[in-house]
């Protein structure tokens, strides 16, 4: 089975993750933010596969790290810069030059920290840039992960990854405690500071990395996989039931019992620690089920859906500009629309996003990647020839 076919279902999961995020931003799916964490888990899985298969060749840590970062840069940076340029032109054209003060943080992939701490020069109007904090989180993980994948002996990696995953809730708790006195105890800020701090979510990527390491064993143990999925569902249910009960104790009634459980203000009573455990485990279970082609997952490998998943990075970038344009040019307020009209607007925004992402992928991202690959292969061949001559 080829790698492309084997990962078609994973691409389908990416498509679902992207759709969830767009639905959230169209005020249709309050828990759609969890699609970002599904992206995180999948990213950890995919890059770990690359390290395990020797996809990043070299004669030591520095060379392999360089190859890894160059390939990540070729995949991520060109269309990212294209998106920033398109947004910059649009914003400058309508006179919103203040937002361009965010560019240093966007270009350095430190935008998440800028949004948390409001470094100068700041902007309170994130416009079509607001979702890009997740790219900063991802790039920061990519900078650190090679220390584990290349610097730790393979026989120890599983244990180190498991320990770091187990430390995830403790890191979130410590971060929340350290932030409690900032911003005058603003609960909204506290929730966002945990939400967007990269160190609070490296465990999501590492769960995906664990799946890559354990995949051969998982394929041999379908019973263990079923138990893992059941555990993830039970943890999520236990979390939900516990915090519905806490909301009741705090005086909530009716639908308000469901607020601040998987959506809303996710801070207080420890929910900022545990909600991500539940979300990460559900994403892990979904990934494992798809990889093992469990019953009910075959539709995720459907070619059109898998294609949407392949272009989902561009889709994730472009969707915010599309929604922003809907608001600026058409005057649409998704939250104020009746649900049927909101669904139609969401469908239109989703379709436009996929078209833009597909065009970018086919005519911009792929040609650049192929050109870089040819250049890289030529450089590698030349380097190998030089080393042979010297030897």
- The residue ranking higher by pLDDT, 313 or 389, is 313
> Which pLDDT belongs to residue 262?
96
170 sits in the region (left: phi over 0; alpha: psi -120 to 50; else beta) called alpha
> Which pLDDT belongs to residue 231?
94
Answer for the pair 135, 160: CB distance below 8 angstroms, yes or no: no
In tens, the pLDDT along 247-300 reads: 999 999 999 999 999 999 999 999 999 999 999 999 999 999 999 999 899 999
Measuring CA to CA, how many Å separate 58 from each of 150, 351, 364, 367?
Answer: 11, 41, 28, 25
Give the C-alpha separation, 385 to 391, whole Å. 10
In tens, the pLDDT along 78-101 reads: 999 999 999 988 888 888 877 778
Domain layout of the chain by residue ranges: 3-390
In tens, the pLDDT along 214-227 reads: 999 998 988 888 89
> Which pLDDT belongs to residue 120?
62
Instruction: Give mean pLDDT, residues 98-124.
Output: 84
- Using 50, 70 and 90 to split pLDDT, how confident is the model at 126? confident
Which tokens go with 123?
């902007």
> Which pLDDT belongs to residue 118?
84
Whole-number average pLDDT of the chain: 90
Give the C-alpha separation, 201 to 196, whole Å. 8
> Which pLDDT belongs to residue 379?
57
DSSP 1: -
> Which pLDDT belongs to residue 328?
87
Which tokens go with 95?
């006179």
In tens, the pLDDT along 16-35 reads: 999 999 999 999 999 999 99
> Which pLDDT belongs to residue 80?
97
Answer for the pair 161, 210: CB distance below 8 angstroms, yes or no: yes
Between 312-330 and 8-25, two packed helices, what is the crossing angle to 10 degrees?
20
Answer for the pair 289, 229: CB distance below 8 angstroms, yes or no: yes
* Displacement of CA 85 from its chain's centroid (Å): 22
Cβ neighbours of residue 317 closer than 8 Å, sequence gap 6 or more: 79, 80, 83, 132, 357
Instruction: Tell the residue number behind the tokens 């979904």, with chain if given.
Output: 286
Establish how many alpha carbons lie within 13 A of residue 188's alpha carbon, considering only the half-sphere containing its beta carbon. Answer: 1
């Amino acid at each position: 089975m080829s790698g492309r076919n084997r990962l078609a279902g994973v691409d389908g999961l990416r498509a679902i993750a992207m759709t969830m995020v767009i639905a959230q931003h169209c005020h249709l799916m309050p828990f759609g933010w969890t699609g970002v964490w599904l992206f995180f888990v999948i990213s950890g899985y995919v890059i770990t596969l690359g390290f395990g298969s020797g996809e990043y060749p070299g004669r030591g840590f520095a060379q392999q790290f360089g190859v890894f970062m160059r390939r990540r840069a070729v995949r991520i940076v060109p269309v990212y810069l294209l998106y920033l340029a398109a947004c910059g032109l649009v914003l400058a054209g309508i006179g919103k030059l203040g937002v361009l003060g965010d560019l240093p943080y966007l270009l350095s992939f430190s935008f998440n920290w800028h949004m948390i701490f409001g470094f100068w020069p700041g902007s309170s109007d994130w416009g079509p840039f607001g979702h890009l904090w997740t790219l900063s989180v991802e790039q920061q993980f990519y900078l650190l992960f090679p220390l584990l994948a290349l610097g730790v002996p393979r026989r120890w990696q599983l244990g180190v990854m498991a320990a770091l995953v187990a430390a995830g809730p403790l890191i979130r708790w410590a971060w929340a405690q350290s932030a409690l006195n900032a911003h005058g105890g603003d609960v909204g800020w506290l929730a966002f500071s945990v939400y967007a701090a990269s160190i609070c979510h490296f465990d999501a990527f590492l769960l995906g990395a664990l799946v890559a390491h354990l995949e051969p064993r998982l394929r041999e143990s379908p019973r263990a996989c079923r138990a893992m999925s059941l555990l993830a569902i039970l943890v999520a249910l236990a979390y939900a039931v516990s915090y519905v009960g806490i909301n009741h104790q705090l005086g909530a009634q009716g639908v308000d019992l469901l607020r601040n459980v998987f959506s809303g203000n996710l801070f207080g009573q420890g929910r900022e620690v545990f909600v991500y455990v539940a979300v990460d485990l559900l994403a892990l279970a979904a990934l494992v089920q798809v990889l093992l082609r469990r019953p009910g997952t075959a539709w995720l490998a459907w070619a059109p859906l898998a294609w949407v998943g392949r272009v989902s990075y561009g889709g994730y970038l472009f969707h915010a500009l599309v929604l922003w344009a809907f608001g600026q040019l058409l005057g649409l307020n998704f939250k104020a629309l009746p649900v049927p009209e909101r669904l139609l607007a969401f469908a239109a925004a989703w379709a436009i996003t996929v078209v833009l992402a597909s065009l970018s992928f086919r005519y911009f991202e792929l040609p650049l990647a192929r050109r870089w690959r040819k250049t890289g292969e030529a450089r590698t061949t030349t380097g190998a020839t030089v080393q042979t001559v010297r030897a």
